[in-house]
Structure 1
């Protein structure tokens, strides 16, 4: 029983290791982007930024701590709810889920090189090559 309780405590600490999530865009993106707009972009309900330029969401690998944190805090859905949501849209031909980056480093590289991308990284991981527009 002691080992079980210890295991649960360690798991709880490990899953709460992510302090937060920073939503990032290319430094040239000067659009005002609020939480509602971010959610719409990542759920396929918005396809462009306020200035009319294309908005392309990029998420991180399913099951990663930063992705789980983003889904919970921003999209307000669990990983399984989001999978079901995207499955329905794909099946009906009404949407395509965001592409995935393998890590914070890959996300930073992708967003730094494409002014249409919007993504997220663990708080504090953003470099000067991207702009943090919102922290959760």
Structure 2
């Protein structure tokens, strides 16, 4: 049983890394009207894990997730948050059960997230860098 669990963990990590390799560059974005010029990985992780609700400048930060299973989401979860989809599901289940948090809203694909973020300077999301235009600002890229 222990060997099976080790194998399953290894396969999960391998699939996360494989998705990150196949995926093009992913950009963390905010509205072009957002005052923050850049964010570090730790700040982004804290926002998306519900540990902080503010950007470094003190303004409200509202994370926007892509739909489950998207390549950008898998890459973001593995690279920026350091968690697999199942680990994030368990993380949010604990917080929801204890009343200490709610996960970011799922808001569609790259185009949908970019359009939402462009319209609201409090939102932060991630998209494939190929969809970035002047309506949003890249604050972190991987």
TM-score range (shorter-chain normalised) is 0.7 to 0.9
The residue aligned with 2:40 is 34
| Larger helix fraction of residues | 2
Q: Distance in 1 between matches of 2:52 and 2:60?
A: 9
Match of 2:3 in 1: none
Shift of 1:68: 0.3
**Map 1:37-116 → 2, pairs under 5 A:** 37-116=43-122
Q: Which residue of 2 aligns with 1:120?
A: 126
Q: 2:139 and 2:130 mapped to 1: Cα distance?
A: 13
SS at match of 2:73: helix
| Structure 1: 5+ residue stretches without partners | 1-10
Instruction: Provide the secondary structure at the position in 2 that maps to 1:127.
Output: coil
Structure 1 segments, 4+ long, off by >6 Å, are: none
CA contact 1:35–1:74 (8 Å) conserved in 2:
yes
Unaligned runs of 5+ in 2: 1-14
Deviation at 1:100, TM superposition (A): 1.0
More deviation in 21-30 or 110-119?
21-30
**Which digits, 9 at most, give the CA deviation of each residue in 1:7-29, with x for residues without a partner?**
xxxx9xx9443122100001122
Shift of 1:49: 0.9
